[in-house]
Amino acid sequence: MVDCLFSFGLGLMLFVGFALLALTQFVHRRATGTAELPPRRATQVRLVAILLLVLALVIAVQNEGGGFGFLLWASLMSLTACGVALILGYRPYLLAPVARTLEKDLNRQTRL
Amino acid sequence: MKQDFRRSMGWLHTWAGVVLGSILFAIFWMGTLSVFDCEIDLWMKPATRVAPAHTLLPLERFRSSLDEAIAAKASFWNVTFPSDRDAVFHTRYGTRKKMISRDIDPVTGRMLPDSGTLGATEFIFPFHYTLNIELMSLGEWIVGLASMAMLALCITGVIIHRKIFVDFFTFRPHANPRRMLLDLHNISGVLGLPFHIILTFSGLVILGATYFPAGVNAVYPNTRAYFFESNGLSFLSVKHGKPGAPVVSLDEAAMRARSLWGGDDPHLVLVANPGMTTSRIAFFRGSERQVVVDRDVIAFDGSTGQLISRASRLTPIMRAQRFLSGLHLIEFRQWVLRWLYFLLGLGSCVLIATGFLFWLESRRKRQGTQIGFRLVEGIAAGSITGIILATLAFFIANRLLPAGARFCGLERASLEVSAFYLVWLAACVHGWLRPRQVWIVQCAAIGLLASVAVVLNWITTGDHPLRTFFVRYLWPVGGMDALLLTGAALSFLAALYLSRRAGHREVAIRSARGEAI
Amino acid sequence: MSSSWLKVVARILLAVGGGYFASSAVMEIFCFLLVALGMSRSDAVTLGIMLVFVLYLCLLLWVFAETALWRSAAMFLLLIVCGYGFSSFVGHGS
């Protein structure tokens, strides 16, 4: 049971990472009804996403040991990336909230 | 030059795919099923659906089986211990002419009735790497060739995929069929690429000595010597010896092995040359807790009980090879990972199937009626939906055939296998004769047969999903039923979707011609 | 028309068959050299097995990418002759 929860959590982390990566691409931003990200912002988001993916590997290896951790991470990578692709294909609006938060200005004052 | 390079890689990708796609689908389909080979065995051999024992039976309880093996002049006898996935003991002994396997109740030690089936461990799993073609190991060589082709297909696939990062998450299910199929092929290919490449490569490495004996024979007298030395089995290369020697207490030897291992139980006990002066008792360690396959083996002299050998510690190179084989053979105990492997395996099947389907769809308009096209379509139908139907027929025959059934000199196990091949052939022929509805009909047939299999399991064994989900040791049976029902539902949906699309196409064609709809 | 078919068949045979024997020859020499340099037999052969498939794949793809078949054929012939000469000189393992 603990195994399942841990893997689910790891999967969620990877899913968010891949969703972020996908939502920096123009084609998927259009599908979620949001505008294209400025290039600097897109790079920032991609960096965060890759950090998430690497962090997931570290956590997996830490908790499950080298062999199992790596295999768990690699398998979940493939499946969660596939999940993101399927959601963007069938129900892209589900990821619209995530897409919108990526546009938000970090510096609130400039919004006013 | 770049353009030529891409074109030649594209040519290789297309033709390797079309020619070897059928074999690859069979390999990946059987491989995916083999992930749950113990669970499928439990479904196919109802007699083994027993609760696991809390304590291990002493090995001397199997002495009568050992004596039987000695009387039959067997060259080996072994006992497989129960594990997390397999509640019963298995004894096996082999003479030159035959191999006798028995299942033993883990609580009472009594022999369970012979199930008369090869099951997953002796049909589905060997099919995965031999295609069930034993003649001169031709099957293994074909699998090897197909595996090299798979590696080439993966690499050429990446090379010809122009916008691999742009299209990384692109899936357009509502576009026209060609586009949707290509998108699905790209997604299952690119996102599952590590799995496809690593599993194929590790599979080749496992059988590496068979495929490249010349290199082995440069430093060893033969490949068997390499196999023995790298697996700590050198104690097996002894002469036959003279008969009549006793075999010492197996439990005493087991106790000594356990103490050498710090308390771990063996997974397999082997007696080589039982009853001879050169008999050997060997204990093999299990690999449940790690990915690296542990082939740590402790050997004793069979007649004196003296310790002969223990496998040496793994060098880094051997460890790397064992890690590769371990991640392919998945002998470990990690349920989440096992289920992930199953899903990824299905992903590979989707990759190969969509490859075929895309090739057919992109040539349908131009060559739809040509003989070559129809041949490929028939083979495609036979290799994809056909082999799935054949597997379901295998399961259904397992439930329908009475124990001890015989027909035309074939035993029950062979009859099940015949059912498999007959349905496979029928699916191919159906594909050649009726190409227009083959996918719809075969998808619906898969749905039907899978549901029938679940119902038959209920009728013949009384274990239905509501019961199996509440009994811990019956979960594998429940899981199998659940997967069959899920597969049935998906197949029916696919058949519905395809027939609706075919209906729309009919309407479009007719209205274009100005006919009444 | 038939000459292009022959070329295709020749390319496939060269890639699959020629590539196989060439990789096998390289593996023979590789394993022997490693053992001669002091590596244990099982280590040398295991490493050889893990690397030979990568080599075979590269040779396969090279034959299909190469425009002039004679170059690949010549290379394979050279490797096979080396391997054969090598094994007859050194003899079978013991």
Low-confidence ranges of chain C (pLDDT < 70): 1-2, 93-94
Residues of chain B with pLDDT under 70: 1-2, 515-517
Closest CA to B85 of B298, B287, B341, B271: B287
Q: What pLDDT, on a 0 to 100 scale, did the predictor assign at position A110?
A: 47
Nearest CB to B291; choose among A67, A76, A85: A67
Report the pLDDT averaged over residues A100-106.
76
Last-in-domain residue among B311, B343, B373: B311
Residues B105 and B237 in one domain: yes
The residue segments making up the domain with residue B56 are: 51-115+233-311
Number of domains in chain C: 1
With CA atoms as reference, the chain C residue closest to B229 would be C42
- Confirm whether B226 is domain-assigned: no
- Tell me: do B348 and B419 sit in the same domain: yes
Q: Scanning every residue of chain A, which has its alpha carbon at the shortest distance from the alpha carbon of B172? A: A89
Sign of torsion over alpha carbons C8, C9, C14, C16? positive
Q: What is the pLDDT of residue B355?
A: 95
Beta bridge partners of B298: B283, B310
Q: Which of C86, C79, C82, C88 is nearest to C19 (CA)?
A: C79
How many angstroms away from the CA of B209 is the closest CA of chain C? 7
Residues 6+ apart with CB under 8 A from B36: B120, B338, B342, B476, B479, B480
Which helix (H) or strand (E) segment holds residue C73: the answer is helix C69-90
Half-sphere exposure (CA, 13 Å, Cβ side) for B254? 18
Complex ipTM over 0.90: yes
Phi, psi of B85 (to 5 degrees): -100, -10
What does the alpha-carbon distance between residue B302 and residue B389 come to, in Å, rounded to a whole number?
48
- pLDDT for B242 equals 85
Sign of CA dihedral B148, B149, B154, B158: positive
Q: Are A87 and A95 in contact (CB under 8 A)?
A: yes
Mutate to test the interface with C, among B212, B224, B318 (most CBs of C within 10 A): B212
pLDDT in tens, A70-95: 999 999 999 999 999 999 999 999 99
**Structural domain boundaries enclosing C76:** 2-90
Shortest CB distance from B340 goes to which of A27, A79, A86? A79
pLDDT at position B369: 79
Question: What's the CA angle centered on C14, arms C8 and C16, to 5 degrees?
Answer: 100
Strand partners, B91: B79, B102
The helix (run of H) or strand (run of E) holding residue C85 is: helix C69-90
Residues in Cβ contact with C54 at an 8 Å cutoff, skipping those fewer than 6 apart: none
Q: Is residue B268 part of a domain?
A: yes
Instruction: Sort out which chain B residues have CB atoms less than 8 A from C45's CB and list them.
Output: 209, 215-216, 219-220, 226, 230
Neighbours of B64 (CB within 10 A): 12
Question: Are A89 and B195 inside 8 Å of each other by CB?
Answer: no
Residues of C in contact with B197 (CB under 8 A): none
Residue B443: per-residue pLDDT: 96
Residue A107, pLDDT score? 52
Q: Which residue, of B311, B343, B359, is where some domain finishes?
A: B311
Helices (H), B54-137: 63-71, 119, 125-130
CB contact under 8 A, C31 and B218: yes
Could you tell me the two tokens for A58? 């570290």
Query: HEC states along chain A?
Result: CHHHHHHHHHHHHHHHHHHHHHCCCHHHHHHCCCCCCCHHHHHHHHHHHHHHHHHHHHHHHHHHCHHHHHHHHHHHHHHHHHHHHHHHHHCHHHHHHHHHHHHCCCCHHHHC
Please answer whether residues B372 and B359 qualify as being in contact, where contact means their C-beta atoms are separated by less than 8 angstroms. Answer: no
Contact of B345 with chain A, judged by CB distance below 8 Å, is answered with no
Residue B489 included in any domain: yes
B435 in the same domain as B307: no
C48's enclosing H/E stretch is helix C41-65
Q: Are B499 and B440 in contact (CB under 8 A)?
A: yes
Residue of chain B minimizing CA distance to A2: B336
Same domain, B370 and B464: yes
CA distance C66 to chain B (A): 8
Same domain? B294 vs B441: no
Q: Which residues contact B416 (CB under 8 A, 6 or more apart)?
A: B117, B118, B123, B394, B397, B398, B401
C94 CB contacts (<8 Å, ≥6 apart)? B221
What is the Cα Rg of chain C in Å? 15
3-state secondary structure of B297: strand
Whether B120 is covered by a domain: the verdict is: no
Does B30 share its domain with B167?
Answer: yes
Q: Are residues B345 and B391 in the same domain?
A: yes
**Is the domain of B148 the same as that of B279?**
no
pLDDT confidence of residue C1? 45
For chain B, what is the domain count? Answer: 2
Nearest CA in chain C to B156: C61
Record: contact B344-A78, CB cut-off 8 A: yes
Which chain B residues are closer than 8 Å to C56 by Cβ?
148
The secondary structure of residue B56, as a DSSP letter, is: P
Res B517: pLDDT: 53
* CA angle in degrees (0–180, nearest 5) for B257-B258-B263: 160
Distance in angstroms (rounded) separating the CA atoms of residues B69 and B75: 8
Whether B369 is covered by a domain: the verdict is yes
B259: in domain? yes
Cβ of C42 and B229 within 8 Å?
Answer: yes
- Of A2, C21, A82, C77, residue with least CA distance to B211: C21
Q: Give dist(CA B78, CA B283) in Å, integer.
A: 10
Token duo for residue B86: 């397999």
- Taking CA–CA distances from C30, the nearest residue in chain B reads B215
Answer yes or no: is B125 within a domain.
Answer: no
- Same structural domain, B461 and B342: yes
Q: Which of C38, C91, C30 is nearest to C55 (CA)?
A: C30
Residue B147 and residue B128 in contact, taking contact as beta carbons nearer than 8 Å: no
- With an 8 Å Cβ cutoff, is C52 touching chain B? yes
Q: Residue C43 and residue B315: Cβ atoms within 8 Å?
A: yes
Residue B85 DSSP one-character state: S
Looking at the structure, tell me whether residues B381 and B282 fall in a common domain: no
DSSP 8-state symbol, B1: -
Residue B516 is predicted with a pLDDT of 60
Q: Which of B3, B198, B219 to mutate to test the interface with C (most CBs of C within 10 A)?
A: B219
For residues B438 and B503, state if they share a domain. Answer: yes
Same structural domain for residues B304 and B184?
A: no
**Whole-number pLDDT of residue A112:** 45
Rounded to a whole number of angstroms, the distance from the CA of B112 to the nearest CA of chain A is 33
pLDDT class of A105 with cuts at 50, 70, 90: low
Chain B hits for C22, CB-CB cut-off 8 Å, are: none
A:76-105 residues touching chain B, CB 8 A cutoff: 76-79, 81-82, 84-86, 88-90
Structural domain ending residue among the three candidates B311, B342, B376: B311
- Residue B279 within any structural domain of the chain: yes
Report the gap between the CA of B453 and the closest CA in chain C (Å): 41
